[in-house]
Amino acid sequence: MMVQIPQVLDTQALRRMRETLLAAGWVDGRVTAGHQSAQAKHNLQLREDDPLARELGALIVQALLRQPLFVSAALPDRVYPPLFNRYENGGSFGTHIDNAIREHPPSGLRLRTDLSATLFLNEPEEYEGGELLVEDTYGVQRVKLPAGHLILYPASSLHQVRPVTRGARLASFMWIQSLVRDDAARTLLFDLDRSIQQLRGALPEHAALVQLTGVYHNLLRRWSQV
C-alpha cells in the first residue's frame, strides 16, 4: 500500500527548514548505506548525529503524529529519527531495498522497517529528475510530490531515485515500525478505518458505526505486535 500524506509541513515551517538545510554540513550519503546499497547511492546527507538533523527530525515526527491520515495508514509504533538528503549534479540512488532492521547509533534505537517514507522539501519545478520510483503490485509508481507532502510505502519494495539533472532535490526520509507488521493486514485496517470515518461523516447516528468500530479494534487486537 502506498499512501500520500499531504501538507505535513506548512509553508512557514518549510521555508525555515529549507533555509537551514541549504547552509548545513552535508556529507557523502553512503555513510548510512549498507554494503550493497553503497554501490548505488550517490547523494549528500546530514550525519545522523548532527544536532540539526535531530532538531529538524523531531519537528517532522511531531507533525506526522498530528496527521490522522498518517496514523491510520502507518499505525506507528516507532519512527526512526528522520534523515535528510540532497541530490544534485546527476546524483541518484539505484534500485535497492531497505534494510529490514535499522539501528540509530546516536540514540541506540533499533526497529524493524515495516514502512519507508519520503518527505519532499522543495517544489518539483525546482529540479529536473529526482523522481522516486517504487515497484509495487501494479508496476512501477513514479513519485514527485509538492513540498511538504510525504509518500508512505512498504519498506520491502524495490525503489530508486532517478538522477537529478538540474537544481537540487531536498528531502527527509525515515522508516516506521508499525503496530501491524503485515502490509496486507495493515491495508485492510486502513480501508476499514477510512470507511468508518466516511460513514461517521455522512450518517453519524447509524447503528452500524459501533459494530464496524468494534470489528476494527478486534482485528487490530488480533494483528498487532504489542
Annotated binding site for 2-oxoglutarate: 169
Q: Give Rg (Cα) of the chain.
A: 18
Residue numbers belonging to the annotated binding site: 96, 98, 159, 169
What's the rounded Cα separation, in Å, for the pair 64 and 72? Answer: 11
Q: Which residues participate in the annotated binding site for Fe cation? A: 96, 98, 159
Check if the beta carbon of residue 166 is closer than 8 Å to that of residue 15. Answer: no
